[in-house]
Chains A and B, each alone.
Chain A
Amino acid sequence: MSHRATSRWLLLCSLFGAVAAWGQVPTRRFALFVGNNEGGADTQALLYAKDDAKRLHDVFTRLGGVRGEDTLLLLDEPALRLEAALAELERHAQAARVRGERSALLFYYSGHAKDGALRLGGTTLSLDGLKARLSGPAFDTRVAIFDACRSGTVTRTKGVRRAPAFEVDTGGPALASGLVILTSSASDEDSQESDLIGASYFSYHLATGLLGSADQSGDGKVTLAEAYAYAYERTVASTAESAAGAQHPTFAFDLKGNGDLMLTDVAQRNEGLKLPASAPRGTYFLVDPQGVVVAEVTKVDTERLIALKPGAYTVKRRANDRLRVGTFTIAQGQVLTLDETSLKDAKLSDDPVKGTRLRSTFTRHVSLSATGQYQAVFDRPTAQGGYFPSAPLFGAELTFHNLIAKAVSLGVDGAFGWADGRVSSGLVQAAAYRYSLLSFGVTGLYEFNAERAWIPFVGVRIGYNVMRREFSDLPVPAQSFSVMSPGLVAGLKWRFARNFGLLARGRLHYLLYNVDETKSLGYAELGLLFQYEFRE
């Protein structure tokens, strides 16, 4: 560790040692996690704010000593709901105080902040007002974490520091009380999200650190000082080369007291992956089955425990000329020690995490597709008394990718089809007709592995079909029928170039006929689409 890093570490320990209340004496912990992708007018929707909140919520409820009934997770909720949640936790803290317990609050926010206010959808919450409330006496200790653009604004008035420049105040009583604020960026910086990791840089590194990566002391506990130092270094490093420039987390404190502030107890659950001291140095990436990097661990000489949920994982270590890749499964209550020799060599080009993913997939963008499909109606042939014939259709689709959330898309489509046929009914024998069909629809889709070349997708669709038939040898007028038709969609997309894709798709729709009789019919559509994605 360099002299500068050692100095920063000591300073951090001194600083955060002031909030000893978290962990050393009977303290009831409360936590409020807020995530909101929308910031209202004149803001661009975020993609991962809610995921960030869910990720931190998961970490703290598993490892942070926060009881389930004492934690609240607010996703896409307005400011009023946030204030109500705070009030609810304040009441709980008051009850704890009556019981003689101390109280501590962890407040986490990921979303938009602008013009001195948090932006929660179409509602706002004054940062000064929130800070004043957090500074109040409801809780003995408060830790507030803001992951938002220019969130450093909230720390600018007092005690703000852009680490690693610290001031030290180690005086005060043994039982600390007060407020610590961490922000993801300085007051003049954007907080950046990454499509590659599917999160904001700061929250991702903070969460990863809390799983054990930040346990600098190796004692199985991650303190606020360790977590912040880890998140700071990784955030700055991750964003240094970004177009928006380096992002610098900040902190501020207004505390009295002394001691250490433990945020997560990695060893408490006795569940996860242990990197033994004998494991080679380097950065290990732990990837879940969805391809999400749940932890990055920089292994040095000491053993390191990473608290992972039970499940299957891929572990990868990048060497100079190759990758070392393997898989493992964590069972409930199991600490698995990694046997590095069980990992296999792989080409750098086969990196399951870095380099093969297509960036910008999780940005909002539009695609346009030309479609050709065949609609097969689940009905008797019209020549045997059925109502609707099967027919080929040709059309176009416009899809808004990641519109609602990442990998969740909304598409609108239109198609036209036609066929010639004959209808028989009663004494009407094989009357010739020309059939035409106009089909419109709105589809909600979820794309699996949307960052990869092969992308399965499923969804639901509401279609509106306008059908018409004209008779050539019967003296009767043309007939028409229109109907809304709900259905399911599934398919596979092959992105064979950055902006081009081929899709094979199936639809299954319900069709209600109600003229001669009420009859539940349906139809299936099998189609091919040629798609162009408008994205950089």
Chain B
Amino acid sequence: MNAMNRTFAVLALSLASACGGSWSNKDLEFLGALPSRTELQSKLPGLSSTSRPLLGTRQDELAVGEASIAYADAKKASGDFNGLLDSLLTVVDTIRQLPPSQRTATSRRWGPYPDSKNPGAEFVLDMTQTDARTYAYVVRVRKAPADFVDILLGNFVATDQLTKGAGQLVLLPAAAKAVIAVSAPLDQLQRIDVGYFTADFPKRVDMVLTFVPGASSGLSGVGYVYRELASGAGAIAYQFRSTNADVSVADVVAVWSPGGAGKAAIEVKQGRYTGAAKAECWNDDFKITYFKEGWAGGTTGGEPGACATIEGL
């Protein structure tokens, strides 16, 4: 075989080996059954979150027209909620960008792929279609030759439209920590449970954080509930915690309209002001339009009619 023949042979082999790819209609179904950020994230409009406290440390009086403290706190909670979702979905999204390594009619496997952030570690995602609408998946990680450890479990039941349905997923930071490095705040968590419903409006995402025993935060659990309407209106309910002796624990429900105007109801559950409640409304510019401090000596400003009307949540 002369040089030219060898060249052609090598070229032909190279091209032949370059055949194939990730072109799969069925993959779309599996991938579509995985949760996505855009479907689950909180979409509270407006300014980025601030660090202004909700209650307790404020020294000056509330006043109509000032920047809303309740909005700022809801925005921070929304950011925290999204951050935790990111922690969960980063694992899924990383794998989603890679082609499946095994395909059967009812399953897909991605990996084992090396984890670039954890030298020596490799992860794998196994996904199974248990019936026409139901998918289950698990992400495992290991450092060979050790066995794989489950770090994320999930399932999803689709409606007639694949990306719409009801799902659950559980992230197990404590299990992952035994194999790979886990950064804060996940290192304080035993698990994160997420349930979501996107088949219809209002969409719903519930998140429960379970802390490891003896966590530095002193907490055992925290929960978020998020709702979203087709119009863009939304709500988030969460528990506010601080080291302030006046208000150490408070339940907060923030609701907003598509334009950003909203209102929040706060009820103190622990602290010197236990039982006290507060309502605050803001406009599209996130300025206070109405407030009412429901404790002795509390003040009221504006008119309740200045609050946005938001229904369906």
List chain A positions with a Cβ less than 8 A from chain B.
Answer: 385, 387-388, 423, 425-429, 431, 464, 467, 469, 471, 474-477, 479-484, 512-516
The answer to whether B19 and A483 have CB atoms under 8 Å apart is: yes
B20: chain A residues at CB < 8 Å are 481-483, 514-515
B97: chain A residues at CB < 8 Å are 477
Contact of A431 among B16, B28, B38 (CB under 8 A): B28
Chain B, residues 1-34, CB within 8 Å of chain A (1/0): the string is 0000000000000011011111111111101101
Known pairs A431-B28, A484-B15; list 14 more (Cβ under 8 Å).
A427-B32, A427-B161, A429-B162, A464-B15, A474-B163, A475-B32, A475-B39, A476-B96, A479-B23, A479-B27, A481-B21, A482-B21, A484-B19, A512-B19
The answer to whether B16 and A516 have CB atoms under 8 Å apart is: no
A383 to chain B, nearest CB (A): 11
B133 close to chain A: CB less than 8 A: yes
What band does the interface of chain B fall in when counting residues whose beta carbon is under 8 Å from A? 20 to 34
B162 nearest CB neighbor, chain A only: A427
A388 nearest CB neighbor, chain B only: B23
The answer to whether B26 and A427 have CB atoms under 8 Å apart is: no
CA distance A517 to B53 in the complex (A): 58
Contact of A425 among B25, B36, B132, B160 (CB under 8 A): B25
B21 nearest CB neighbor, chain A only: A481
The answer to whether B23 and A474 have CB atoms under 8 Å apart is: no
The answer to whether A428 and B24 have CB atoms under 8 Å apart is: no
Known A-B contacts A428-B29, A475-B38, A484-B15; the reply to A516 vs B24 at CB < 8 A is yes
The answer to whether B16 and A484 have CB atoms under 8 Å apart is: yes
The answer to whether A427 and B158 have CB atoms under 8 Å apart is: yes
The answer to whether B21 and A429 have CB atoms under 8 Å apart is: no
B191 to chain A, nearest CB (A): 24
B272 close to chain A: CB less than 8 A: no
The answer to whether A516 and B161 have CB atoms under 8 Å apart is: no
The answer to whether A480 and B21 have CB atoms under 8 Å apart is: yes
A475 nearest CB neighbor, chain B only: B36
B127-170: which have CB < 8 Å to A?
132-133, 158, 160-163
Known A-B contacts A428-B162, A484-B15, A484-B16; the reply to A474 vs B22 at CB < 8 A is no
The answer to whether B38 and A427 have CB atoms under 8 Å apart is: no
B162-184: which have CB < 8 Å to A?
162-163
The answer to whether A481 and B36 have CB atoms under 8 Å apart is: no
A387: chain B residues at CB < 8 Å are 23, 25
The answer to whether B18 and A482 have CB atoms under 8 Å apart is: yes
Known A-B contacts A428-B162, A475-B38, A482-B18; the reply to A467 vs B23 at CB < 8 A is yes
A516: chain B residues at CB < 8 Å are 24-27, 103
The 3 nearest A-B residue pairs measured at CB: A481-B23, A425-B25, A427-B162
A71 to chain B, nearest CB (A): 30
B254 to chain A, nearest CB (A): 27
CA distance A484 to B103 in the complex (A): 22
A115 to chain B, nearest CB (A): 23
A238 to chain B, nearest CB (A): 37
CA distance A431 to B32 in the complex (A): 11
